[in-house]
Structure 1
Amino acid sequence: MTATLISLLSILIGIAGANLTGLIFKKYSFGIIGNTIAGVFGSIFLIKLIGRLGFDPITIMQSGTINIKLLLINLIVSFSGGIIAVILLKKLKLIMNKNY
């Protein structure tokens, strides 16, 4: 598994987190397409922000094999990024609609 595949897997997990949040909490749903877009950007942003602590895809593959602990942390952060993005975007939408 290369660093590129780990990055793609992280994005897919972020999409799953965003869509699962939309399914469970209907008030945070933007539909499948909106949740998917939020999941992509949320997972990428959080992985880039927190991944500097040592669980970015390059560090996971640095020894030539997959570091499972770092991969699990990466996937959990990515899943959380999808959830956080959907919630924050819904809050932003409510704030912007309130001003009009």
Structure 2
Amino acid sequence: MTDTLIAILSIFIGILGANLLSVLKKKYAMGFTGNTIAGIFGSIFFIKTFGRLGFDPITIMKSGEVNYILFAVNIMVSLIGGAIGLMLTKLIVNKLNKKR
């Protein structure tokens, strides 16, 4: 597995997290496309922010083989990041659409 493949998997897991949240909690649903975009940005933001703690794709592959513990942490952060990205996006959309 390469660094790039791990990064792409992280993004797909973020998309999954956002779409899974929209299925479980209908109030956060923004349609498939909106959920997907929010999941992508949420996942990337969380991995870039918290990946500095040592579970970014480069650190996962540092020894030449996959460190599965760091990979699992990366996947969990991506999943949670996608869901939180959707929640924040929905909050912003609701604030902007609020009637004055």
* CA shift for structure 1 position 43: 0.2
Which residue number corresponds to residue 2 of structure 2? 2
Which residue number corresponds to residue 73 of structure 1? 73
* CA shift for structure 1 position 96: 1.5
Matched, 1:51 2:51: yes
Q: Deviations over 1:18-41 (max 9, x none)?
A: 000111111100111110000111
Q: CA RMSD in A?
A: 0.8
* CA shift for structure 1 position 94: 1.4
The answer for unaligned runs of 5 or more in structure 2 is: none
Which residue number corresponds to residue 25 of structure 2? 25
How many residue pairs match? The answer is 100
- Tell me how far apart the structure 1 counterparts of residues 36 and 97 of structure 2 sit (CA, whole Å): 22
Letter in structure 2 aligned against 1:33: T
Q: Percent identity?
A: 57
The answer for unaligned runs of 5 or more in structure 1 is: none
- Tell me how far apart the structure 1 counterparts of residues 99 and 4 of structure 2 sit (CA, whole Å): 42
- Tell me how far apart the structure 2 counterparts of residues 43 and 83 of structure 1 sit (CA, whole Å): 8
1:64 aligned counterpart, secondary structure: coil
- Tell me how far apart the structure 2 counterparts of residues 98 and 34 of structure 1 sit (CA, whole Å): 19
Range 88-97 or range 22-31, more displaced = 88-97
TM-score (norm 2): 0.97
* CA shift for structure 1 position 99: 5.2
Runs of 4+ residues deviating >2 angstroms: none
TM-score (norm 1): 0.97
Which residue number corresponds to residue 42 of structure 2? 42
